[in-house]
C-alpha cells in the first residue's frame, strides 16, 4: 500500500547519509515493493539505485528534487519540487532539467525555472515537496491567495499527475502546512501523498547525517549556530509508522503514483553518434578498411602475412561488434587535432593493442613489435564498450572538445564525472574534527588502520585499535560515527 517517494541517498552530497545498498535492503526488510530516489538537484545515483532495486525485487522509481524559481532573474535558491519519471520521455525530461539547472540556472545551487518546467513537463509526476516547497512556504507565510494561484498553475501543467505532499517529522510548521494542504486538496480536487523526506536509513543514523552536514558547512557539533535537522525522524519508516501519522488514503495514493511510474533502463545497447563517410564510399566499413589499408602501407615497409591477417581479423571483429563508427569518430577528432598542431599522446591502455588503431593514427605504438594483444581491447566473447585513453595538450584540449560538439552535436558529447569518497582515514579525521577531538588522536588512530581497507577490517586486524575501541568510549563513538560515513561521497570532479 505505502511506498516511499521522497528519498535522499549518499548522492545528495554531504546531506544524504543513506548508502544505496543499505537503503534498498532496508526497504526490502520493511516489505516495500517500490522505492524512489530523489536526490538534491542531480541524478548521479540513479543507475546504481536502479540496479540495486532490481536485484532486491523492488520497483525503482527514478526522480530528483529540484530547486525551482519563477525566473532565472531571481536572486534566490528558490523552492523545492519533486519530479518522478513515468516513462522514457519523463526520464529524458529529468535529464534535460538537470542540465538546464546546472548550465543556465546556477545561483549558489543548480535551479530550474517555471519556463523550463513548462517545456519539459511531459512524462513526469510532480510532488509539491517538503515545507521548503513553494506551496507550503506560501501557506506558512499566510499567503493563501498566492498558494491557491501556484496550486492551480501546477494542476494546470501536470493535471492528475500533480500531487500535494505532506510530511510529519514532529516539526510544528509541518502540521500548520498540512492543514493548508488539506484545504487546497479539497478545493482543487488534488490527491495528497505522504512522504518522509528520508536522509538516512534508520533512526539511529541521525547523528551520522548531522556529521555530514557539519562537513558540508564546515562546522562542529558543538557549534550552536550550525545547520541541522529539527528532529531525528528523517529515516525510512515502516508502513505502520506512517499510518500512525497520516490517513490511510494518503498512503494508498503513493501506490497510485508507483503504478504510473514505469521507466526502465535499457542496458547493453550502444548508441553512438553517426559518422558521415564521404559520398564515394558505399559503407562505413568500406571507409574504415580503406583508411586502414593506407595506414598499414604507411606504417610498414613490407606487409607480411602476419600483418595482413592481424588487421583483417581486427576489422572483422570491429565491424561484427558494431564499433566501426566508434573507430571513425575517434580517428576523426585525433586527425583534426594533429592537423591543427595539437599534441596528442601515443596511446595508453588496452587500445594500444590494436593494429587498426595504429594504422589509422589513433595510437602511435606498434602492437606487433611489443607483442600486444588486441583481445584485451575488443573481445567478441566478452562484449564491452571499447575505450581509448587519449592524452592531449591540456592548454588546447578544449578546442578538440568544441570540435566534437560542433560536428556531432552537443547532445552527443559529455564529460565523465568521478566521485571522491570518504575512505577510512579521511572519515576518522573528518569525524574527529566535527566532534572537536584532537588532531593527534585522529592521527594516532589513522596510523593503526595500517593496510586495512576499512575501519571494520582494521578493528579485526589491529589488536591495539580493537583495545582502544573496547575500553575508551570516546574512541568507540568516534570510530562508530566514522564507520557510518565511511564510503560516502564527499565531492565530485571531472574525470575526463
- Which tens digits make up the pLDDT trace of 336-372? 999 999 999 998 899 999 999 999 999 999 999 999 9
The 3 state secondary structure assigned to 146-167 is: HHHHHHHHHHHHHHHHEEEEEC
State the distance between the two ends of the chain, measured CA to CA, in whole angstroms.
Answer: 44
The model's pTM: 0.91
Q: Identify the three-state secondary structure at position 198.
A: strand
Residue 387: predicted pLDDT: 87
Residue from 188, 181, 81, 186 nearest 140 by CA: 181
pLDDT single digits (tens) 186-242? 999 999 999 999 999 999 999 999 999 999 999 999 999 999 999 999 999 999 999
**Number of H-type helices and E-type strands within the chain:** 20, 9
- Kindly give, in sequence order, each residue whose CB lies less than 8 Å from that of residue 353, ignoring residues fewer than 6 positions away: 367, 372, 373, 374, 375, 376, 377
Residue 219: predicted pLDDT: 95
Q: In angstroms, rounded to a whole number, what is the distance separating the alpha carbons of residues 250 and 185?
A: 11
Residue 493: predicted pLDDT: 87
CB atoms within 10 A of CB 414: 9
Signed CA dihedral, 324, 326, 330, 333: sign only? positive
| pLDDT beneath 70, residues of the chain | 496
Residue 496: predicted pLDDT: 67
Amino acid at each position: 500500500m505505502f511506498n516511499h517517494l521522497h528519498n535522499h541517498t549518499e548522492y545528495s552530497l554531504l546531506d544524504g547519509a543513506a548508502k544505496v545498498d543499505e537503503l534498498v535492503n532496508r526497504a526490502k526488510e520493511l516489505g516495500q515493493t517500490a522505492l524512489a530516489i530523489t536526490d538534491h538537484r542531480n541524478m548521479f545515483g540513479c543507475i546504481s539505485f536502479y540496479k540495486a532495486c532490481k536485484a532486491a525485487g523492488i520497483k525503482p522509481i527514478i526522480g530528483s528534487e529540484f530547486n525551482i524559481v519563477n525566473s532565472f532573474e531571481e536572486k534566490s535558491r528558490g523552492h523545492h519540487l519533486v519530479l518522478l519519471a513515468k516513462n522514457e520521455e519523463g526520464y529524458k525530461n529529468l535529464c534535460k532539467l538537470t542540465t538546464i539547472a546546472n548550465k543556465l540556472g546556477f545561483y549558489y545551487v543548480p535551479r530550474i525555472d517555471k519556463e523550463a518546467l513548462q517545456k519539459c513537463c511531459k512524462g513526469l509526476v510532480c510532488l509539491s515537496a517538503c515545507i521548503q516547497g513553494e506551496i507550503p512556504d506560501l501557506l506558512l507565510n499566510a499567503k493563501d491567495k498566492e498558494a491557491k494561484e501556484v496550486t492551480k498553475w501546477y494542476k494546470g501543467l501536470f493535471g492528475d499527475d500533480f500531487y500535494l505532499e505532506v510530511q510529519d517529522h514532529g516539526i510544528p510548521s509541518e502540521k500548520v502546512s498540512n492543514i493548508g494542504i488539506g484545504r487546497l486538496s479539497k478545493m482543487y480536487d488534488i490527491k495528497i501523498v505522504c512522504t518522509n523526506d528520508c536522509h538516512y536509513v534508520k533512526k539511529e543514523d541521525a547523528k551520522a547525517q548531522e556529521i555530514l552536514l557539519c562537513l558540508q558547512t564546515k562546522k562542529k557539533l558543538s557549534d550552536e549556530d550550525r545547520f541541522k535537522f529539527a528532529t531525528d525522524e528523517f529515516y525510512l519508516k515502516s508502513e505502520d509508522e506512517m499510518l500512525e501519522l497520516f490517513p490511510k488514503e494518503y498512503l494508498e495514493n503513493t501506490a497510485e503514483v508507483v503504478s504510473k511510474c514505469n521507466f526502465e533502463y535499457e542496458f547493453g545497447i550502444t548508441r553512438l553518434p553517426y559518422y558521415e563517410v564521404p559520398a564515394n564510399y558505399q559503407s562505413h566499413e568500406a571507409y574504415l578498411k580503406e583508411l586502414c589499408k593506407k595506414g598499414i602501407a604507411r606504417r610498414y615497409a613490407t606487409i607480411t602475412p602476419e600483418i595482413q591477417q592481424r588487421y583483417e581479423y581486427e576489422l572483422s571483429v570491429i565491424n561484427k561488434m558494431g564499433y566501426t563508427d566508434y573507430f571513425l569518430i575517434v580517428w576523426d577528432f585525433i586527425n583534426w587535432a594533429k592537423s591543427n598542431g595539437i599534441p596528442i599522446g601515443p596511446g595508453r591502455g588496452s587500445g594500444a593493442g590494436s593494429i587498426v588503431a595504429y594504422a589509422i593514427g589513433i595510437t602511435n605504438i606498434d602492437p606487433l613489435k611489443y607483442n600486444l594483444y588486441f583481445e584485451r581491447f575488443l573481445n567478441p566473447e566478452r562484449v564491452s564498450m571499447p575505450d581509448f585513453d587519449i592524452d592531449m595538450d591540456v592548454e588546447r584540449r578544449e578546442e578538440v572538445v568544441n570540435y566534437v560538439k560542433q560536428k556531432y552535436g552537443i547532445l552527443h558529447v559529455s564529460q565523465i564525472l568521478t566521485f571522491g569518497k570518504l575512505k577510512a582515514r579521511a572519515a576518522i579525521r573528518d569525524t574527529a574534527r566535527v566532534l572537536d577531538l584532537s588532531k593527534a588522536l585522529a592521527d594516532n588512530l589513522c596510523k593503526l588502520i595500517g593496510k586495512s581497507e576499512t575501519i571494520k577490517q582494521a578493528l579485526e586486524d589491529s589488536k591495539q585499535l580493537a583495545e582502544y575501541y573496547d575500553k575508551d568510549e570516546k574512541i568507540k563513538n568516534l570510530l562508530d560515527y566514522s564507520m557510518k560515513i565511511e564510503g560516502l561521497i564527499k565531492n565530485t570532479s571531472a574525470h575526463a
